Amino acid sequence: MYLIEKENPMYPQKLLSIKNPPDILFAEGNLELLNTFSLAIVGSRNYTITGKILTENLVKELATRNITIVSGMAIVIDSIAHESCVEAQGNTIAILGSGFIDAKRKKIFKKILENNGLIITEYLPDTPAYKSNFPRRNELISGISDGVIVTEAKINSGTLITANHAISQNKPLFTFPADMDDVTHEGNNYILSNGAKCILSFKDIFKYYPNFIFNDSIENVSNVPEEYLDIFTNLKRTPISINILFSKLNYTLSELQYKLFMMELNGLIKKLPTGEYILAN
């Protein structure tokens, strides 16, 4: 377990801009995710099949484009978002409303860590999941993210707390429009009428981030030799360390180093002065 104070360079810079950033964060997992481009995905506790499928498909599209998925690890849409991200071999951050001891009872806790994800909380390890903790947890979910996506929400859903935090923090808030008679998505239409951005697919999100290059390497692999394809599809347009690649791929370290060298030689990737790798174009 890591303890990260506000003075620590690893402390999430986006959290420093919220009203009351935590003095200390407890973290387990891949700390490199703390300052990556990320989007929060949240939804109702009593989700529908439509909401589940929408979340799964959305996460898959975003996770394969180098977007870190943030959610709250609750056994609702949150866990579906984390699970879908893990299945897509993407990066995910879970923010807890409890300490680690309580959270470790959930299967998704282990799955996130085994797949290079990150779990953080501001609560001491033995803190139970008190109901009063979750509005604050929702504030941090929005605070650490570059935007918040509501896949589905009823009008009285706790999801709208996260949506309100996004608005107050000047974070882009996205949702899907719904039938006016559909009470399971009434919250979607409510936040649309209060400034949320309407999206119909993941591509609608991209136009709000003109300075971020979304990784479409999954769709553009025709010129990549087959022996490098698995490495290429794990590379990103933000720097990634060889340690992260090594943990995701079934190579010895020397094999991976050789393949990376050959890919660099062939102009597929670039090695940065930091020792990290990035797609060449």
212 in any annotated domain: no
Same-domain status, 151 and 275: no
109 shares its domain with 242: no
Q: What's the token pair of residue 80?
A: 């579906």
pLDDT tens for 159-202 read: 899 999 999 999 999 998 888 777 888 989 999 999 899 988 88
- In this predicted model, what pLDDT tens digit does every residue of 77-112 receive, in sequence order? 889 999 999 998 899 999 999 999 988 888 899 999
d(CA 238, CA 225): 22
Question: How many structural domains comprise the chain?
Answer: 2
Classify 40 as helix, strand or coil: strand
pTM tops 0.85, yes or no? no
Whether 133 is in a domain gets the answer yes
Strands 24-29 and 2-5: antiparallel
Last residue within a domain, chosen from 173, 206, 239: 206
* Claim to verify: residue 144 and residue 260 sit in the same structural domain: no
Which residues of the chain carry a pLDDT beneath 70? Answer: 213-223, 236-239, 281
Q: Do 38 and 145 sit in the same domain of this protein?
A: yes
Q: What is the CATH number for 224?
A: 1.10.10.10
Residue 211 lies inside a defined structural domain of this protein: no
Asked if residue 223 and residue 200 are part of one domain, the reply reads: no
> Do residues 135 and 13 share a domain?
yes
Q: Which has the closest alpha carbon to 99: 78, 127, 119?
A: 127
Q: Which of 150, 182, 206 is the last residue before a domain boundary?
A: 206
**Residue from 92, 88, 55, 98 nearest 70 by CA:** 92
Residues 17 and 126 in one domain: yes
Residues 164, 136 share a domain: yes
Give pLDDT, residue 218.
46
Judgement on whether residues 51 and 152 belong to the same structural domain of the protein? yes
Round to whole Å and give the CA distance between 163 and 173: 7
User: Would you say residue 56 lies in a domain?
Assistant: yes
Residues 6+ apart with CB under 8 A from 256: 231, 242, 245, 246, 249
Range of the domain at 241: 217-279
pLDDT of residue 221: 58
Question: Looking at the structure, do residues 135 and 29 belong to the same domain, yes or no?
Answer: yes
Domain boundary residue among 144, 176, 206? 206
